[in-house]
Amino acid sequence: MSRNPLAITLLLGCVAATTQAADRPNVLFIAIDDLNHWVGHLGRNRQAKTPNLDRLAASGVTFTSANCAAPACNPSRAALMSGLRPSSTGVYDNGQDWMPVISEEKTLTTQFLTAGYDVYGAGKIYHGSAHRPDEWTEYHKDARDPMKLHPTANGGGVGGIRFAPLANADQEMNDYKVASYAVKQLGAPHDKPFFLAVGLFRPHMPWCVPKKYFDMFPLESVELPPHQQDDLADVPAAGQRMAKPNGDHAAMLKSGRWKEAVQAYLASIAFCDVQVGRVLDALDASPEKDNTIVVLWSDHGWHLGEKEHWRKFSLWQEACRSVYIWRVPGLTHPGGVCRTAVDHMSIYPTLCSLTGIPKPEHVEGLDITPLLKAPDAPWQTPALTTFHKGNHSLQQGQHRYIRYADGGKELYDHSQDPYEWTNLAGDPSQAELIRRFEASVPKSEAEELPRGKDGEGKAPKNQRRKTAAAT
């Protein structure tokens, strides 16, 4: 009988990878959409109710100055999953197709598959739940939320900012079903190590969740986020254009429903937190608990009127800062707090390092294992966020520096100005600090990819999401 040498080589390679992977830890990879820093353990908003996110943070290391790669779903996720920054791929915004510029062999999930892992996915990992089936062992079929408005709903929101309480039960919501898939996988026997990606959609708009979550935040007690009038007066023209103060913010002020929007966002976070808790409970009950790395991240932050802006799509703290938590058995210690500024490009190389998988040469992020071991360890590299070609936000220590493509600049000192109300970029005494930040701005930048249709800016009747095909 004739034999194909290539087939035999591939088969032996798979057997070797499976044998080698047998001793490797599992990975529980939790992605949350549009969750800003309004979580209990970060202390930014005292109204937030996130006991499950907080208990995960208390069991490992939380990064209090974590930054996204881009303040929009598509480029943030494409960068994190590929190891390539927006400035390398040209994927800077939503509506730009990442698949032609990020080949299958470069993605994070492909590395785990090649190393002998079973790779499971559910919910929103890439933008719009898009994915390539060959990069997963199995991908849970996504679904739309039924979204039955509760009788107390006051319409569907204000302009493009959509929110309303629902008459639905938790079990009807897609995020509940995504969490249920994760619970099932965590409770099942596995003969290979697994990588389980769980993508939760809320608190992405529309902020429509069962009414009981709205009831957790009585409207009369809701507080608006700290803000000041004319906050954009010292912001360069490029930043003002990003803020679009005459758009969502003007409409919200005119409506008088700012508090209702804040209530709805808090309710959506609380709903998300419950789903995180269900997944964590399943892991804690699993025999794999002590052999499973947990990394939880939100793809970017969100403005609710701060700096006269709503949504993400900016380079300020509210859009760039995200939730970022690691729990690594045998490495992290409970209650770890790392105040060093890092960005999400660290996820890919760090997971490779922790699981013994070779890091591909194309990966641009840095391995933060030293910070997981010792959260106060020295770190010299600023966190970097990019939104469209030439526009960058860098954070290091107490400072955030923003440089726009047209040369406009902003600099904020968070030790004195946590809400970024005073732009120090014009102060001559800050010139040396700005020079040091400039050294970390990307030296070459890919051209923007064509932008197709995207539902981010539209008022969704439902969730306006692609339905991912099951493998």
Report the share of the chain in percent with pLDDT over 70: 91
Mind listing the pLDDT tens digit for each residue in 109-145?
Answer: 999 999 999 999 999 999 986 788 999 999 998 888 8
Mind listing the pLDDT tens digit for each residue in 264-290?
Answer: 999 999 999 999 999 999 999 999 999
Please check whether residue 277 lies inside any domain of the structure.
Answer: yes
Length of the chain, in residues: 471
Does 127 participate in catalysis according to the annotation? yes
DSSP class of residue 22 equals: T
Candidates 37, 41, 127, 140; catalytic one: 127
Mind listing the pLDDT tens digit for each residue in 258-271?
Answer: 999 999 999 999 99
Please check whether residue 461 lies inside any domain of the structure.
Answer: no
Q: Which amino acid is at 316?
A: W
* pLDDT of the residue at 452: 80
Structure tokens at 359: 């890091």
Mind listing the pLDDT tens digit for each residue in 355-400?
Answer: 999 999 999 999 999 999 999 999 999 999 999 999 999 999 999 9
**Ordered DSSP codes for 377-436:** ----PPEEEE-STT-EEEEETTEEEEE-TTS-EEEEETTT-TT--S--TT-GGGHHHHHH
Q: Measured between alpha carbons, how far is 192 from 19 in angstroms, rounded to an integer?
A: 9
Q: Measured between alpha carbons, how far is 181 from 25 in angstroms, rounded to an integer?
A: 20
Among positive and negative, which fits the CA dihedral 403, 404, 407, 410? Answer: negative
Structure tokens at 405: 């493509």
Cβ density class 294-316: b for 16+ within 10 Å, e for less: bbbbbbbbbbbbbbbbbbbbbbb
> How sure is the predictor about 22, in pLDDT bands with cuts at 50, 70 and 90?
low
Mind listing the pLDDT tens digit for each residue in 353-362?
Answer: 999 999 999 9
Sort strands 157-158 and 161-162 into parallel, antiparallel or unpaired: antiparallel
What CATH number is attached to the domain comprising 355? 3.40.720.10
> How sure is the predictor about 21, in pLDDT bands with cuts at 50, 70 and 90?
low
Expressed as residue numbers, the domain containing 301 is 20-384
Please check whether residue 319 lies inside any domain of the structure.
Answer: yes
Among positive and negative, which fits the CA dihedral 453, 455, 459, 461? Answer: positive
Please check whether residue 119 lies inside any domain of the structure.
Answer: yes
Does 208 participate in catalysis according to the annotation? no
Q: Measured between alpha carbons, how far is 301 from 293 in angstroms, rounded to an integer?
A: 24
Please check whether residue 152 lies inside any domain of the structure.
Answer: yes
Q: Which amino acid is at 346?
A: S
Q: Measured between alpha carbons, how far is 393 from 401 in angstroms, rounded to an integer?
A: 6
| Cis geometry, peptide bond prior to residue 71 (ω within 30 degrees of 0) | no
Rg, Å, the chain Cα set: 22
3-class SS at 118?
A: strand
Please check whether residue 238 lies inside any domain of the structure.
Answer: yes
Task: Indicate the number of domains in the chain.
Answer: 1
> How sure is the predictor about 5, in pLDDT bands with cuts at 50, 70 and 90?
very low
Mind listing the pLDDT tens digit for each residue in 303-337?
Answer: 999 999 999 999 999 999 999 999 999 999 999 99
Q: Which amino acid is at 168?
A: N
Q: Measured between alpha carbons, how far is 393 from 149 in angstroms, rounded to an integer?
A: 39
Higher local confidence (pLDDT), 466 or 18: 18
Mind listing the pLDDT tens digit for each residue in 166-196?
Answer: 999 999 999 999 999 999 999 999 999 999 9
Candidates 68, 73, 208, 352; catalytic one: 73
Among positive and negative, which fits the CA dihedral 173, 178, 180, 183? Answer: negative
Residue 271 phi, psi dihedral angles, 5° rounding: -60, -45
